[in-house]
Structure formats: structure tokens, C-alpha cells
Structure 1
Amino acid sequence: MKYAKYYLAALAVIVIDQIVKLLVHFYMPMGSAGEIQVLGDWFKLHYTLNPGMAFGMELGSDYGKLFLTTFRLFATGGIAYYLYYLAKKNVSRGLLWCIALILGGAIGNVVDSIFYGVFLNNAPYNAPSPWFHGQVVDMFYVDIWEGYLPEWLGGGYMALWPIFNVADASIFIGVAIIIIFQKRFFKETGELHHDSHPEDIIS
């Protein structure tokens, strides 16, 4: 199948994401004690666990994580089918590559949520079950600014950019490119539809 390359790209994201996460888990102390400066104070490796969504967001209640993981499973299935559907049509290859990045990133974090609670024993102490309650491993820390907000902004500590991982970055890049180049993608898709024969498939 000519569109298999897009699934291979998603698979590459998953493999890289999991390798990085496992290396961090087994070879880095958690928190500030194991922090590694890559580009001074601006870019660091900082091992932390994220019990919720991308970039540290979280759902409440004991079963919020179960709901989130189940939702992610259905969402990734939908994205995988959508990629297959679009790949059979004459759509922009750039759009397909972006969806492949999003798919790979989504599956990468789903793997953490389903399995890490069991195999890495990182489920929260109050989780009803380690299955589907694994915490996502994050490690990339872009330290643009951190400090305490003034009282008129609510006060409290704030970091301008949250800690993330390869899967988060892949999703972010895929979505950002689609937003930035959406006009070009739609234009290319229209031209491909105009120039192609009915039996043509994106290559």
C-alpha cells in the first residue's frame, strides 16, 4: 500500500518516544536532583510524571484518568482511520505527514497510560488499578520563564512552558504545521483532484 509510509512515520515517532522515555526512567533521577542542562538554563532534561493530558494538564477524580485513557484509545483509532481515508484520496502529502505525526504522538502517550502503571509501577497511589492509570513520562523542559505572578494576576507560582515529551512535541508540530499551512494544503489538494485520474492514489 502506497500510504503505508505514513503509518511507518507514525511508528517511528512511537519507537523514538518510547526509547527516550525508558532511557529517562531507568537512567535519570526524578525531579531537580537529576536535571541535566542541555542549553544552559534555557533547555534542560527534567524527569517528571504527568498523570493527565498533554503538557501537564489533568482531569480530576479517581476515574478521570480511566476516562482520559479510554478517550485517547478511541481518538487514536479515529485518527488512524482518518489517515487511511485521506491517503486513499487525492489530498496534500504535507497534510498526510502532519496527521502521521499526530497519530504517532497520540499512540505514544496512550502506551504510557495503559502499560506504565503496571510495567514501570508509576500509577498514582490512589489509582483504582495500575492498568489504564499509568503516568506519562515527560522530560523536555524549555525554561523560558518561571516565577510568582503578581497578586492582581492571582499570585502563585507559574512556569511559562510546561515539561513535555517526544509524543507531545510530535502532536504539537503536526497541529501547528496544519494551522500554518492549511491554505497551501487545501490548494494542493484541489490541484491534485483537478489533475488526477479517478483511479489515482496519493503516492
Structure 2
Amino acid sequence: MAMGILLIAIDQCIKVAVKLHMGLGEQIVVFDWFRIDFIENRGMAFGMEIGSKLLLSLFRIVAVGFIIWYIGKKIRQGRPLGFILILTMICAGAAGNIFDSLFYGQIFTESVPYGEPAQLVAWGEGYAPMLMGRVVDMFYFPLFHGTFPTWMPFWGGEPFIFFSPVFNFADACISVGVALFLIFYRKELDAETHRS
């Protein structure tokens, strides 16, 4: 529980700092391979957009509720601490992005491309109704640039950047949590699925 609250707090502190100190689209080069690049999105992890914003927000809330219930069930079953912590990472990441959708449209002014940073305003005076706020993303790791081989279908000769998605701390919690879960607990999940 404490770890989940800590992860959500870290996520929200980073997002609020970016929102209040950077204009939309502004970029801070930390290293050639790491930048803080302020963007906002309406979609899921790494800026993907799927379906309506309201449905996505409601889906996230239901998913987090289910994960919290599942964590409680696994704690009562005496599952290993690592298992619980990994699920907590995934849940905290999802909750962090829900907070953006729920509250940011209510408490911040619109982020203007390459303009002044957003301002904190009284509840309800923000840029969007509840559940319609945009998710703040900022971490960008253009680790290396290359060109696809000319013999490659569709993309041959085209330049590419690896790793080009811009993401936030909550997205990282979800991605790392899922990866750890698959690495360390996949067999248990398979066994549990076969028992059902």
C-alpha cells in the first residue's frame, strides 16, 4: 500500500512540475540520449489513442478497482511479497494516469504549445470537464538513430529513432511491472489459469 502511494506521489510530482514549468512542446536536453519533452495525450501508454476518452477513463477506473481487489485477494492467500509489489507497481501506474484524466482538466489552464506554462486554478475553472483531462508525458530516450536497410519492405532506406515514444513515470511503472510479472510469475499465472 505504501509503495503504491509513493509511486503515485512521484508520478504526480513530476507531472505537476512539468505542467507548471514548461510550455507544451518545450524540450530540455539532459543528455543526447535523454530529454524531458513535454507533451500531452488523450490516450493510453506511450500516446496511443484508442476509442473515446470517456470510455478509456472509465475503463481505467474499473481496471484499477479490479487490480486493487485482486491484490487484496492475493495478500489474503499469502502470495509472495514480490508478486504483490509487482501488481502494486502496475496498479499505481494506472492510477497515476487516471488522476491526470480525472483532475488535470479541472485544476489547470490549457497548456499552450511553446507558450507560457499552465497555471493552477480553482476547481472547475480548468480546460476540460472531469474525466477528460489529458495525460502528461515527458520522458524521451532517443537512444540511437539509424536507417532501415534498403532491402527491407515498406521502410527500406527510411530513417528511424530507437526508442521514440514519449512516456511518463506511471507508464514506466506499468511497463516495468508487466515485464517483471512475465519474467518472474508467468508460470504461476499459467498454473492459476489452468486450475480455473
TM-score normalized by structure 2?
A: 0.77
CA distance in structure 2 between the partners assigned to 1:146 and 1:115 by the alignment? 37
Q: Quick check: which one's helix share is greater?
A: 1
Which residue does the alignment assign to 2:48?
Answer: 57
CA distance in structure 2 between the partners assigned to 1:152 and 1:114 by the alignment? 43
20, 23, 35: which one aligns with 1:29: 23
CA distance in structure 2 between the partners assigned to 1:55 and 1:137 by the alignment? 10
Which residue does the alignment assign to 2:70?
Answer: 82
Taking the TM superposition and a 5 Å limit, the aligned residue runs for 1:23-172 are: 23-31=17-25, 34-38=26-30, 40-60=31-51, 64-122=52-110, 130-145=129-144, 152-153=153-154, 159-161=161-163, 162-172=165-175
Show CA shifts across 1:145-168 (max 9, x none).
Answer: 468877942688865430011100
Is the Cα–Cα contact under 8 Å of residues 121 and 130 in structure 1 kept in the other structure?
no
Give 1:93 shift.
Answer: 1.2
Which residue does the alignment assign to 2:181?
Answer: 178
- Secondary structure of 2:63 counterpart: helix
1, 7, 11: which one aligns with 2:5: 11
- Secondary structure of 1:153 counterpart: coil
Give 1:48 shift.
Answer: 0.5
Percent identity over paired residues: 38
CA distance in structure 1 between the partners assigned to 2:40 and 2:160 by the alignment? 18
Show CA shifts across 1:65-94 (max 9, x none).
Answer: 000000000000000111111011121211
Q: What's the Cα RMSD here?
A: 2.9
Return 5+ residue gaps in structure 1 as ranges.
1-6, 124-128, 187-203
TM-score normalized by structure 1?
A: 0.75
CA distance in structure 2 between the partners assigned to 1:121 and 1:154 by the alignment? 40
Question: Which is further off, 46-55 or 153-162?
Answer: 153-162
**Residue type at the aligned position of 1:45:** I
Return 5+ residue gaps in structure 2 as ranges.
112-127, 189-196
CA distance in structure 2 between the partners assigned to 1:29 and 1:122 by the alignment? 10
**Residue type at the aligned position of 1:72:** R
**Size of the alignment, in residue pairs?**
172
Show CA shifts across 1:119-141 (max 9, x none).
Answer: 12449xxxxx6221111000100
Is the Cα–Cα contact under 8 Å of residues 116 and 122 in structure 1 kept in the other structure?
no
Which residue does the alignment assign to 2:124?
Answer: none
CA distance in structure 1 between the partners assigned to 2:171 and 2:177 by the alignment? 10
